[in-house]
Amino acid sequence: MTPGRFAAIVDAYGANSLRWPDAERAAAQAYERAHPDHVNHILQQAGSLDAVLESWEVGGPGSVLSARVLDGTRHANRSFHALRLWLSGAAAAVSLAGGVATGIGMVTQHSAPTASSLYATSIFGTFAELSDAPERDEDPR
Amino acid sequence: MLGVAIPCDGFLFPVRSRRQSCLSEIEDIHLETLPDTDAELLARMGAGDEAASRALMTRKLPRMHALALRMLGNTNDADDVTQEAFLRSWKQARRWQTGRALFDTWLHRVVLNLCYDRLRRRREIATAEPPEQVDPALPADHGMIQSETADRVRMAIHTLPERQRDAIILHVYQELSNIEIARTLDVSVEALESLLSRARRTLRARLEGIES
């Protein structure tokens, strides 16, 4: 701790060593004990300003504010849980609806013949028959 | 003033630019290894524990309200800001990551940002309606414990440049450490010392009569 650094600490943080930087407090306090003549004036001047600044006090929060804050968080908490419940219900409903739709789709696809397939069967035979029919001989002879 | 910022839960949380290199690695480590005494309560609050909400409020409300009141000088505004800050802390509780920042520092930042918004709005209103302007900076009310000395101190602090004002309020009245203040104001510890020194020099000159 140099004289300059000690003066800079007091200049910035005041005379109360509790407000000095944690990392330098011990060294500054040791310097203060070792050089009382040098530090007394600096500390006195800074201490006077500290005392004046500390005279600015403010009233504490009223009980109404405490109740408002608690009500606010309680309300937010309830809204959050209600929303979470609603979202999980909605997600379940959506997945259920999706499952039902898929099931209906599968049943329809496998059991009910389509109009086009009936038409193809009744007039032109089945698609299988058409696809198995021998190709026309294109031989020019 | 705050440099680069990203929106977080409706307020701007400052992101330190590489150029600023606000705190040295040693200081970062120091802050991040400090035990966050609020972490457990915060986790319980995030899980919907009402007793934890009440405990955290009891622990933090007086200091946060005092900060808002000193910044705004008006009980109604200070009440609104404090309530909003606690609501945001409730929202933040469920995704709070221990070790990234101290909750107390974060909460100071939230209150300060909300106060900046209010002060900015007051300035805009005062500019738009100059005839009705009395003293938009600080109308003292019943929330302020008045004495002639206290009133002079209040006036002297509120006529400092903003960063010096904030540094003094956080240091003298909120009793944050230099590293916590630097984090809150998004400046280096060296810059903070400079802000505090200049502020104290100005205040000493302005309050000289009282001191003697």
The interface predicted TM-score of the complex, written ipTM, equals 0.76
Residues A48-66 have pLDDT tens digits of 999 999 999 998 888 888 8
At residue B146, the pLDDT reads 63
Asked if B33 and B179 touch (Cβ cutoff 8 Å), the reply is: no
Q: Do B61 and A46 touch (CB under 8 A)?
A: no
Q: Domain limits of chain A?
A: 3-55
Confidence band of B124 (pLDDT split at 50, 70, 90): confident
Kindly list the residues of chain A whose beta carbon comes within 8 Å of any beta carbon in chain B. Answer: 8, 11-14, 19, 21-23, 45-46, 48-50, 52-62, 65-66, 68-70, 72-74, 76-77, 80-81
Q: Cα distance from B120 to chain A (closest Cα, Å)?
A: 23
Q: Tell which wins on pLDDT, B46 or B183.
A: B183
Confidence band of A113 (pLDDT split at 50, 70, 90): low
Asked if B89 and B111 touch (Cβ cutoff 8 Å), the reply is: no
Query: Please, which residues have CB within 8 angstroms of residue A129's CB and are 6 or more apart in sequence?
Result: none
Confidence band of A81 (pLDDT split at 50, 70, 90): low
Contacts of A45 in chain B (CB under 8 A): 204
How many CA atoms lie within 13 Å of B184's alpha carbon, on the beta-carbon side?
28
Confidence band of B50 (pLDDT split at 50, 70, 90): confident
Contacts of A77 in chain B (CB under 8 A): 48, 50, 53, 90
Confidence band of A86 (pLDDT split at 50, 70, 90): low
